[in-house]
Amino acid sequence: MNNNKPFIIGIAGGSGSGKTFFLNCFLHHFKNDEITLISQDDYYIPAGEMTQEENKLYNFDLPSTIDDQQFLFDIKKLLKGEVVYKKEYNFNNPLAVTKILEINPAPIIIVEGLFILHFKEIAALLDYTIFIEAEESVALDRRIKRDGIERGYPEEDVLYKWHNHVVPAYKEFLLPYKGQCDQVVVNNNDIPDDIIKITEEISVDLKEKYCKYKQAE
């Protein structure tokens, strides 16, 4: 493989799978100029301001809520060595301060999100794929905690979305691709040492192959 072409890792996982923790552990093994992250969450098509009830009923867990063509375009920009500037998505939180993200090219690019394997043009760019999963009861408990603390959603609304939006979307748009992934990581226990060990094993191999040329420049 041409070492000048960035190596693209796709990381997919359902809500509550612990994907964010896995990503943070993974990124921690690299220097800033060795790796970059581009997230599907920043490519939601703005839904506008909504009431609490409208927010509860709106299904964010559909591929049609994502601007996949812009997502694809920006991934290709990173591949060409160009910087991507992207407005951070704030999940319709009117109190959130919206940041402009500066996503810099790097030897290793992580593309993460629920539908990255479903979007065929994006999936075709991925060199290595990791599927993060957790038992449904564990994932739901994590979702309730996260949406309550970070987004202020009542538990009733979280449960409505979980059963009507989250689980059906996971089963239709993500789970069918699990068998095609290069690695499946089961993350039920919230034990940092386990995840750190897995991410370190992957990162050591990647650094050896894709980051050493960068240091030699």
Residue 81 is assigned to a structural domain of this protein? yes
The CA–CA distances, whole Å, from 122 to 68, 88, 106, 110, 117 equal 8, 20, 18, 12, 7
Contact assessment for residue 116 and residue 123, using Cβ atoms and an 8 Å cutoff: yes
Q: Which tokens is 68 given?
A: 């996949």
What's the total number of domains in the chain?
1
The phi and psi torsions of 35 (rounded to 5 degrees) equal -150, 150
Asked whether 18 and 134 are in contact (CB, 8 A), the reply is yes
Specify if 206 maps to a domain.
yes
pLDDT band at 217 (very low <50, low <70, confident <90, very high): very low
Cβ neighbour number for residue 192 with a 10 Å cutoff:
10
Per the structure, the complete domain to which residue 74 belongs is given by 7-216
Q: Does the global pTM surpass 0.85?
A: yes
Task: Report if residue 2 sits inside a domain.
Answer: no
Query: Domain holding 95: CATH number?
Result: 3.40.50.300
- Quick one: pLDDT at residue 48? 73
Burial class (CB in 10 A: 0-12, 13-18, 19+), 53: exposed
Query: Does the pLDDT at position 16 exceed 80?
Result: yes
Domain annotation covers residue 110? yes
Lowest-confidence pick of 125-129, 158-162, 207-211: 207-211
Alpha carbons 68 and 118: distance in angstroms, whole number:
10
Q: What is the pLDDT of residues 91-126, one digit of tens each?
A: 666 666 778 999 999 999 999 999 999 999 999 999
33-47, 51-65, 106-120, 190-204 — which one is most confidently predicted on average? Answer: 106-120
Residue 1 lies in a domain: no
Q: What share of the chain is helix, strand, coil (3-state, %, to 5)?
A: 50, 15, 35
Asked whether residue 165 is assigned to any structural domain, the reply reads yes
- 149-168 confidence digits (pLDDT tens): 777 788 999 999 999 999 99
**Residue located via tokens 């591949």:** 79
| Inside any domain, residue 211 | yes
Please tell me the predicted confidence (pLDDT) of residue 213: 46
Question: With bands split at pLDDT 50, 70 and 90, how would you rate the model's confidence at 214?
Answer: low
Q: What is the mean pLDDT of the chain?
A: 89
Q: What is the DSSP string of 152-194?
A: ---HHHHHHHIIIIIHHHHHHHTGGGGGGSSEEEE--S--HHH
Torsion angle of the four alpha carbons 146, 32, 28, 35, in this order, in degrees rounded to the nearest 10: 80
Q: What is the dihedral of CA 211, 206, 76, 112, to 10 degrees?
A: -130
Amino acid at 36: T
